[in-house]
Structure 1
Amino acid sequence: MSAEQGTHTHHDDRATVARHAVAADAAALDQAQRTASPIAGRAAGAPSGLDAAYATQHALIARRTDRGERVVGVKLGFTSRAKAEQMGVADVILGTLTDAMGVDDHGRYDPRTAIHPRVEPEVAYLLGPGVEDELAEPDPSASIAAVAPALEVIDSRYRDFRFSLDDVVADNASAAAFAIGPWRRPADTGPMDNRAVSLEFDGRLVQAGSTAAILGDPGRAIAAARRLAGRHGFALRAGMILLAGAATAAVPLPATGVVGAEIAGLGRVSLRVGDGARTEAR
């Protein structure tokens, strides 16, 4: 065997080991999510780096789609400058949304399906045809068909909600569930860059913030999602949902009750938590 052949064999062996490690990592995270049982960290031998972490996320989502789930969108993480600085990261991250994660507005969410769920208010965008034009400038107005208030339930599959940047990317950016309020056309809502946001439990205010916490302007989420999608192998299509990021800090989800979020001038969204959730006063 020539030296060149030996080098190729060595690289092939390393690639095979890396693929097996990614598959094992995805299987461990999938099992943790399905059983609501935390794991201490990523699988032994899991390769490091963002490319490997996104490969694990794709493998994790492939396991879910193989079971019949359907990809319906993406979510951004670390869109808050304060949160990014806290985690020591310089860029946002991307996660995947499937239909199984969706909860109807005013619908019921079972917190027992999660390990340590937290909830945060967000801006949701319905992507328009412009998002599929790879040659076009990432102009938000051409890529947004509608906008709505949203709630996202996040749930790290790692014990004690402790993770590195690679860990959280592999764990699908901590995505667990989401609910979206009524969609509105962008022309009917006006600029979204500084809207008051409230998060309530049973009508009691627990967090107040602004859409400005989302990248300074949530409209910037479109360009960020396009950039990350192109770099890390995501497909963005018209009709998909984009969760632009959290407008306030995430709060532990209550065991029962009604969680509601309101964005000034945009609307309201809510979900009922647990079997004992009462009907929200409307």
Structure 2
Amino acid sequence: MSLIDDAAALLDSAAFGREAIEQFPPGHFTLAQAYDIQRASIAHRLSRGEVLKGIKLGFTSRAKMVQMGIDSLIWGLLTDGMVEEDGGVVDLGRYIHPRVEPEVCFLTRKAIDGPLTSLEAADFIEAVAPAMEIIDSRYRNFRFSLEDVVADNCSSAGLVVGGWSRNFDALGNAGVRMQFDGRDVQVGSTRAILGQPMRSVVQASRLLHGAQMSLPAGSLIMAGAATAAEALRPGVHVECRIGTGTGSASLGNVAFVTSGAAA
């Protein structure tokens, strides 16, 4: 087996078996090879019957880019096996050391098969929703290099999407509150997502084009985190609210309850 196949099989086994692995040696593979590993790892999921559902963006915060010393986004793939029910129960036993972060999710109206401009982006989007992503690095102690995290599908493990809305006007600078058992654990603004979350659609189209991929109508685009992530623990009620909760500035809320124990 090649370096790509070996690394992909190792990461897939770690995710499927909920067992953390050691980080790869520095320089073990390039960033381009990391994306090849990511695709090969997701192929294992598809071979078990999962279906591609969309893509997720990472490092949509400028501060995070500076921190990591990069000047571009990273991205990963979503499958239907990652989707958790809004308001449902999330079994932490499915994960290794899960964390959650508030996001904005888009639903595509038309296939995205080429780079879009800012003026074109809204025409390709059917709706937007508040969402939360469960990230779960397959590496020990949640530590990794840029190449490591890309190979590991950018730590994407689960997602919860709330009610859909056509209220795109609320996206620019909506308040974001993520609560555990009714108490704020993260507070921020949708402006943290590239200054305007709709820009994530433009960036997604460019990344897809560069990878010679397209995104079918009805796909999800997770636009990136609006705040830092919080570690999950059993028995907590998690809720994310985006907007004021009333009137045109509201996108709505999304919630779930955790059960089980993380490994």
Distance 1:184 1:171 in 2: 31
2:254 matched residue in structure 1: 269
Query: How far is 1:129 from its partner?
Result: 1.0
Query: How far is 1:275 from its partner?
Result: 4.8
What amino acid sits opposite 2:257 in the alignment?
R
2:129 matched residue in structure 1: 148
Distance 1:256 1:233 in 2: 43
Distance 2:105 2:184 in 1: 21
How many matched pairs?
A: 254
Output aligned runs, 1:26-41, within 5 Å: 26-41=8-23
1:84 matched residue in structure 2: 65
TM-score by length of 2: 0.91
Query: How far is 1:191 from its partner?
Result: 4.1
SS of the residue 1:217 aligns to: coil
Distance 2:147 2:203 in 1: 18
Deviation string for 1:30-89 (max 9, x for gaps)? 0111111111123x7985222211110110010000000000010000111222222222
Unaligned regions of 5+ residues in structure 1, if any?
1-18, 277-282
What RMSD in Å do the two structures reach over aligned CA positions?
A: 1.9
1:118 matched residue in structure 2: 99
Output aligned runs, 1:169-208, within 5 Å: 169-185=150-166, 188-208=167-187
4+ aligned runs moved over 4 Å, structure 1: 44-47
CA contact (8 A) 1:41 1:158 kept: yes
Structure that is richer in helix per residue: 1
CA contact (8 A) 2:100 2:230 kept: yes
**Corresponding residue to 1:256 among 227, 235, 245:** 235
Q: Tell me whether 1:222 sits opposite 2:207 in the alignment.
A: no
TM-score by length of 1: 0.85
Q: Tell me whether 1:68 sits opposite 2:76 in the alignment.
A: no
Distance 1:255 1:31 in 2: 24
Change (3 A) 1:35 1:130: closer
2:247 matched residue in structure 1: none
Higher mean C-alpha deviation, range 111-120 or range 147-156: 111-120
Change (3 A) 1:115 1:247: same
Change (3 A) 1:135 1:222: closer
**Corresponding residue to 1:211 among 190, 202, 205:** 190
